[in-house]
Chain A
Amino acid sequence: MEPTLILAIATMGGLGLFFAAGLAIADKKLAVEDNPFVVKINEALPGVNCGACGKAGCYDFAVNVAEGTASVTGCPVGGSDTAKEIAMIMGVEAADSEIKTIPRILCKGGNSEAVNKMVDYYGPLSCSAMEIVSGGEKQCLYGCLGAGDCVDACPFDALVMNENGIPEVVPDLCTSCGICVKSCPRDIIEMHPIDQTVFVFCKNQDDPRTAKEVCNVACIACGICARKSDGGIEIINNVGVINYSLLDDTKIPFEKCKTGAIQKIDLELDLGIKMKKN
């Protein structure tokens, strides 16, 4: 071997050893004492830094929990398992395990149901951008715009746009973070427990005649469901609003709803379809 090569290897190796030793000493001498709780909590968290808890990321949330400024159940993505784990670390009782919530898109007025304006829309394909001009191509002023701001916003790819132009949730991928709810300029996405099956799939506050004109599946505020429900459903601003604490779904005549705005969804079927899509 060339002597220069040996010299080079020895020099570089020597330097490497010297600096490694320096770093090793610095690591011990200058170590910052991390709050052990923070480290443990951070490990228990999902680590996707989605921000759904309202903090800057998972580590920030962990710091807040350790300092007592955030609740141990504050991570909606981790759900009850994570909450229990964090509660154990912090030595507190976690609240009863909650049922997972998923977003429900309360509009069924897709491309085949909603009536379009006699115009084409040219412009940014974003629901928020459509909303600040004349509201896209559909006539309904309250329904889904179909440009998929929620689909884009979802950090977990748990929303897919179906062929009809209405987003659907993939429950397995959904982490209940609620980011889609905030992304919707028309506020038609709501978080509901996954076993909740009765929804009024309409937010149209127009008078019944207009509502019927703009969409085939709009709630026309006929009030049949409200009369039979013993307070479970109320008609507010021309649209049925469900009070889930009083709701008894056996009393509601779903088949009598003329437009099918109120529906009881088949969980089995609902989830099944979505699994296939996924």
Chain B
Amino acid sequence: MSFFSINKSFKGGVHPDEHKDLTENSAFELMPYPAEVVLPLSQHIGKPSKVLVKKRDLVKSGQVIAEPDGFISSIIHSPITGKIKDIGKTASVGGRPQEAVTIVAEGEDEVVFMEPLDADSISPEMIIERVKEAGIVGQGGAAFPTYVKLMPPKDKNIECIIINGAECEPYLTRDYRYMVERTQDLIVGIKLIMRALGVKRGIIGIEDNKPEAIKMLKEATSQNSEIKVEVLKTKYPQGAEKMLIKVAVNKEVPPGKLPLDVGVVIQNIRTAISVFDAVVKGEPQITAALTVSGFGIKTPKNLIVRVGTTVQQVLDYCGGTNEDARKVIVGGPMMGVAQYDMSAPIQKATSGLLVLTEPEMKHSQETNCLRCGACVDVCALNLIPKDLAKFSKAGKWDEAEALGVTVCMECGTCSYNCPANIPLVQWIRLGKQRVINIQRSKQNVS
């Protein structure tokens, strides 16, 4: 590694307080499975899955209870052994009630996993089939069904995969723990993904605030010429797809295009671990790994829980919340969703559960825009957040579209850096959604 490749970075970005020390040294703990789980039927991007079970059916851990409905969709397995209590709308971490299956634990835990396969001899088709059967979804946050990502269109030439170990969101240490605890499994998982895609080049991108993980992965890959560890500068949003590609392979993804278009597939650290589990152990995705952190929780932990465990159950398991706790967020503090209903269940792709106190939050009075350009300086996508927000607020969708509102990835860097405390990303998000709706309706007309 040359001197110049160290601390590679991109334009813009911010340095929020990391607070990773709260949990980075606590090993994963397996939370015992709860008496009742709630499984939303839409834990992925795409169409909600179709339910295969009825009320009062008995299910075992690992049994398929919902099948994909369409190409971009996912299988859902029962995470516990028990009886279907109800199928209907329940609270979700997304903030909006969702169709979900409620299962009550009953009897001994019976596990019906798939047959373990040999990681050395398995064919690419079989890997993809297994990933699909295991219901694996991208663990980076968007929860895109992984098998779809492993089957890029024929005309796209995939040159390399990037494994995203940046974990640029403050507080979260889930991927870090996987890198140090299951280093060998991770490498096998990455190899499986590379074989499924037929690529010979793999890059693991890690921010330089995780020296332990960098050291261990460099050691583990020292004999392997195909997989390389890339050290990245610690900066938010380093873990965003486009930033990672820019830094790791020095390519820019054009607006409106996907990483596929520049020959790159990105997978999260835990996705690679899940692929390993599915192939080598035959385990479907019935657990979620998450960092429970923040100064508002009694004992911060890295947990592995059954999918469908509610936020409240997780909070109770971690000793409950402190008195000064003010806000509960699912996901990271920058892009996560604030929760109002603690009965919302943890989903497959949930990566963090944060309980924040007043000093950790930024709730100051909004004032007028100073036109200082602080948001423009930090926007990693070279947008002009102040104008996008202004046009969204005024309902001027055409102008917002012309300035590229749909390019925004909603990382929240602009809002974080705004000295006037303007909720920039919230306005931009509104504009983005409206413009996309308008574009769609225009397409339908023409």
Contacts and interface: CB of A to CB of B under 8 A. Distances in A.
Interface of A: 117-119, 122-124, 126, 128-129, 132-135, 141
A202 B363 CA distance: 34
B34 interface: no
A28 B317 CA distance: 88
Given A123-B423, A124-B423, A117 B430 contact: no
Contacts of B341: 117
B430 A129 contact: yes
B387 to A, nearest CB: 16
B340 A134 contact: yes
A126 B340 contact: no
B430 A135 contact: no
A50 B404 CA distance: 27
A128 B341 CA distance: 21
Contact of B429 (A118, A119, A132): A132
A30 to B, nearest CB: 34
A118 B342 CA distance: 10
B426 interface: yes
B426 A134 contact: no
Contacts of A122: 363, 423
6 contacts: A119-B338, A124-B427, A132-B433, A133-B337, A134-B96, A134-B340
Contacts of B96: 134-135, 141
Q: Which 6 interchain pairs have the tightest Cβ spacing?
A: A134-B95, A117-B340, A119-B340, A129-B430, A123-B426, A124-B426
Interface string B413-446: 0000000000100110110011000000000000
A134 B96 CA distance: 6
Interface of B: 95-97, 337-338, 340-341, 363, 393, 423, 426-427, 429-430, 433-434
Is the contact region of chain B dominated by helix, strand, or loop, or is it mixed?
A: mixed
B430 A128 contact: yes
A141 B429 CA distance: 20
A249 to B, nearest CB: 34
Nearest to B389: A124
Contacts of B423: 122-124
Contacts of B429: 129, 132
A124 to B, nearest CB: 5
B95 A135 contact: yes
Nearest to A131: B430
A180 to B, nearest CB: 13
Nearest to A128: B430
A274 to B, nearest CB: 27
Given A123-B423, A126-B393, A141 B97 contact: yes
Contacts of B434: 128
Contacts of A117: 340-341
Contacts of A132: 429-430, 433
Given A117-B341, A132-B429, 11 more contacts: A119-B340, A123-B423, A128-B430, A128-B434, A129-B426, A129-B427, A132-B433, A133-B337, A133-B338, A134-B95, A134-B96
Nearest to B328: A119
Contacts of B340: 117-119, 134
Contacts of A119: 338, 340
Nearest to B415: A123
Nearest to A116: B340
Contacts of B338: 119, 133-134
A3 B36 CA distance: 103
Contacts of A134: 95-96, 337-338, 340
A49 to B, nearest CB: 16
Contacts of B337: 133-134
Contacts of B97: 141
A135 B433 CA distance: 15
Contacts of A135: 95-96
Contacts of A123: 423, 426
Nearest to A117: B340
A244 to B, nearest CB: 29
Choose among B363, B393, B430 the residue with the greatest number of A CB atoms under 10 Å from its CB. Answer: B430
A128 B434 CA distance: 10
A117 B340 CA distance: 7
A272 B426 CA distance: 40
Choose among B393, B426, B429, B434 the residue with the greatest number of A CB atoms under 10 Å from its CB. Answer: B426
Nearest to A134: B95
A207 to B, nearest CB: 9
A129 B431 CA distance: 9
Contact of B95 (A126, A128, A129, A133): A133
A115 to B, nearest CB: 12
Nearest to A152: B395
Contacts of A129: 426-427, 429-430
A124 B433 contact: no
B363 A126 contact: no
